Structure 1
Amino acid sequence: MLILVLTCVLISAALIALAALWQRFSVPAPELAHEKALYRGFVADVERRVAAGEIDAEQGQEEQAQAARALLKVSDTAEETASFKPLYGYVALGLVAVLSAWLYLFTGHPDLADQPYRQRLQAWTTIAKSDPDSLSPQKMAAVLRQGQVEHAREVDYWLFLGRIDMMAGNNYDGAQDYQKARALSPETFTAWSELGEALTFVGNGTSGREARQALQNALKLNPNDPRAHFYLGQRALEDGQYEDARGHFNAALNAMSPDDVSRPQVAQALAAVAPAEAAAKAMSERISGMVASLEAQLAADPENADGWARLLRSYDVLGHKPARAKAETAMRAHYARRPEIIADILTKAQTRVGSEGEAK
């Protein structure tokens, strides 16, 4: 605290010193008489331009009026400057610094509790009791979370809180809420698709597998669950299972009412299946052509180590496991006495090696 006070005092002194230096070395403002002379010259120039036809009379009057207003402003400033006492300015600066420090010490130091948020939360709680629809999902989630101890064993509480958290964009919290509901009632838990949706947004890896399982459980309970079909369709599309993706998206659309706000999103996803399938087919044909070329080159020149790596990689991309195993057997037989080259080829086969169409 002492360091803070000393800092405020030093800041005050620095402000006063800067003000004194500015007052001492600043250039004096022009005299009012000089401004009047400039005004008269400007008016004379305007009159000359009007007479010469360079501007019309109306524009000339407007420019003279603007110049007059500028002169009046300079006159007022000159009077204020003449009545200003530098000492008053120094004292004012010092008072501002001291008052700022005082306000911080009593209203903003880190030791104070977060009273404004508590007050806002109390206000939101009051509004939730009388007009809950007026609260944003973020505020409603904060209000509901106050009851997590009191309602810890209630499935409906966690389901509702999960939905509000998802609406608020708190996907991780929403997933946790649904997990608690599932833990309380694993056999009767009916919001599997909501859990799957939350887990889909949370992340990949384990969450991704759990999301798929939750969505599949949702379809076991309700084969016409549009949410479960939509997210399973998305996963099928990502995995290149285009017929499955079409089936899930169509099932979702058939289960939705005509005025469902989510229909355009599902329809857009369904429309994206065909282009994705066509692109994947074109890529597969390109890789197949490259594979045939590589096989011919390796038959003629089996010393092409990078060629073997590209061939194995291509079979992995195509998903041709038997062909891949056959090629690896041939490669190992050729380099049987050079295990270090075999290891290098297998390592390179895990990543792209040069250009896919390049032959060596």
Structure 2
Amino acid sequence: MIFFIAAAILTGAVILFMLRAVSAKPGDETGQSPAMDVYKAQMGELDRDAAAGLIPPADAEAARIELSRRLLAESRKDGSAAASRSSRVPRPGIIIPIIVLPFAAIGLYAWLGTPGMPDMPLGERMSSALQNQDVEILMAQVEKHLAENPNDLRGWTVIAPVYLRRERYNDAVLAFSNVNRLGEPSAASETGLGEALVGAQEGVISDEARAAFQRALKLEPGFIRARFFLAIAADQDGDREEAVRRWKDLLASSEEPDGGWRRIARQRLAALQPETQVGPGGAEIDAASQMAPEDRQAMIRSMVAGLAERLKENPDDQDGWIRLIRSYTVLGDREAAARALGDARAAFAGDPETLGKIVAAADALGVAAQ
């Protein structure tokens, strides 16, 4: 609304003074270009509107600079030449455009523009800018804004994850703390604070970070990132039982099926439960030696089938695949061994080094993928 009031005032002033200049008799001219009068009048109107608060200071300053530039350019022109040029144009040919053009512009804007669109909030402008301009420059702008407006929740919300991604962990701790202080904490903001604290401690999950993750889970019990870090915390504490429980809970989650955390969860679970990844142990072998051949074969097949099932759930176990291929070979089931090698190839398609070790072991057994 302020924009339209200011635009109407300036448009009216331009029309009034241009009509006045055109209607003046040749003998009344003082040698000063009519445009000079217009620009000076606009400058006066601009100062009054700015003083009345109708125009934001930044817009007023930009308009003042532009008018000053035009005044300077006009003052360099030859006044007599300008008067000569204006005298050759029929007055109706000047008056009609002066009156028609402003209203035509307003009508065109009303048709093509969106006069009812609200201003974009500062936070949204900063978010959009972060995607399109130099991040360091924009971060400096946001930081300057926050230094002047330390209670701007939107500003802290925008810059906190940027600090975290750029590994400015201490700044991220401050930013996420302000987000939680100024607004209603969320699982994401509490987890962000916890991650920043972990980064500041070089990967160690402190009691303060653990508390942030626990607050996140109170707000959203299924929040994956918070659950992931609490599993790591149990692992770091040496609480094997709790760590195993948390890693299993993560793997049982239906969220983010392709999340990178799944590979880490499987690796940690395999390290914490190595017994779930091996073939028959000494006790099983001793028991099998006392069985009838057919019973012994059935027992071995059962254990191999169990290993195959575990590898479906945790396909990142290199040694497990080698054991499975070897077990099928010992059982004489070379087709199953070849299928296992094919499954291992699929599991480690993105890890050529590990896949090479599995293929080498299979080659030594005379097994090739189907």
Q: TM-score range with shorter-chain normalisation? A: 0.3 to 0.5
- More RCO (CA 8 Å, sep 6+): 1
TM-score, normalised with respect to structure 1: 0.36
- Please give the TM-score of this superposition, normalised by the length of structure 2: 0.35
